[in-house]
Structure 1
């Protein structure tokens, strides 16, 4: 997908910082969808579901669902003084529900000004702890800074909810944040095994192929090709100012990564090949969720990618 030059500049700056951090760690070590057919519970477009282990901060007397974990991968509710807050620690299963949250600034005040990122002021994701039940939502904000994210039916288990945003004023202006909290969905939870790494998958009659061998902590090109009935697809429509939106979650901890598109948008004629700049910070298996649009319909494909 495509972003503005200002957004791209911020992303490149963050990518450079991540690579430098990974190199430093390496040197230190040397010294010492509506449901998708590819995965149960996956949803397209504007709803979400996430699982994760119970919040350790809860036991310490914090607000329900609050997490204090490593920053930079979305596994924290706070970064640089900005905090994702919510009074909700549990959500019902089997029906549509709304998750309400607020982002506060270093002074503890609700943030109400956000810079558009791929046409939206807030991107919200939900993923179950076994990396099933993916939802990508664009919530709405009230005048007091309270956001409401409408989620489709959630399966019982632990879920992690991510908020991706960029303040348009204050000390965080011009910086991208990804913060998250966990919630529990009551009921008998059945773990869905993560599908084995594969180079291709099927969704809604489309074949999606991913080529590339990314290495942990390093920027690496990734190519996605889309076909239907054995023929290359060339009628992809822009979705969020790009031809495809690609996010990834790490097996085990559900760490978040957004893969940056580099293919230029030229009307409703995208495809069949889409280029991404993949920077996945940790080795292991990552579950990739690719969203693309044709004929006004949004499709969500999922596959597992192994990162060395």
Structure 2
């Protein structure tokens, strides 16, 4: 990665325990990966992605330089790549208030309007009972990202629930401000028993 002067950037601020967050999102929003690359001394980043299904994917790198002209500014850079092979046409699931992931039921409450900040509440239950043993993940109890249908615009929804040991949940609060109306695909990542879970649902923004 190079800065405005054409030289490699090697100084980055830490955001939620990481200097870079990297996302791979299928263009139809039906595939998702979130990883944390490692930087070499020359400013080159590398990380291992799990295999991607054939089709068009958008790659996002989210970071904050800790020096130079961009110091303190949050950047999100992206590009589209094509994974060769026979791409299956996938339909985005309809907007819904809850979803299932690894036996957990994740529910999202909050009526969002484009360009306006709103509180968003997420609850995590299992077998009808509230989950209260969420473990910290990236200095929070859940990491929440959103991608807009059609152009795959990216948004990171910031958590407001304070972390206090391995007993988070069942309710988590987020500060949400999505800039564009339409369908957004939300990906919530949370940890229990040392295992990371990813729940996805479609949210309609008016």
Q: TM-score normalized by structure 1?
A: 0.66
**Quick check: 1:134 aligned with 2:29?**
no
Which of 113, 119, 138 is 2:11 aligned to? 113
Q: Which secondary structure state, in structure 2, belongs to the residue aligned with residue 289 of structure 1?
A: strand
- In 2: Cα distance, 1:190 partner to 1:291 partner: 26
Which of 128, 150, 157 is 1:252 aligned to? 150
- In 1: Cα distance, 2:47 partner to 2:158 partner: 24
Which of 133, 156, 159 is 1:261 aligned to? 159
- In 2: Cα distance, 1:115 partner to 1:183 partner: 27
* Corresponding residue of 2:107: 209
- In 1: Cα distance, 2:80 partner to 2:97 partner: 31
User: Quick check: which one's helix share is greater?
Assistant: 1
- In 2: Cα distance, 1:111 partner to 1:117 partner: 16
Alignment of 1:1-308 (within 5 A): 103-308=1-206
| Distance apart, 1:110 and its partner CA | 1.1
* Regions of 4+ moved over 4 Å: none
Q: Alignment length, in residue pairs?
A: 206
CA RMSD of aligned residues (A): 0.6
User: Quick check: which one's strand share is greater?
Assistant: 2
| Distance apart, 1:174 and its partner CA | 1.0
Give the greater-gyration-radius structure (CA). 1
* Stretches of structure 2 lacking an aligned partner (at least 5 in a row): none
| Distance apart, 1:167 and its partner CA | 0.5
Q: TM-score normalized by structure 2?
A: 0.99
RCO comparison, higher one (Cα < 8 Å, 6+) = 1
- In 2: Cα distance, 1:191 partner to 1:224 partner: 30
Deviations 1:192-235 (A, max 9, x none): 10000000000111000000011001111100000011000110
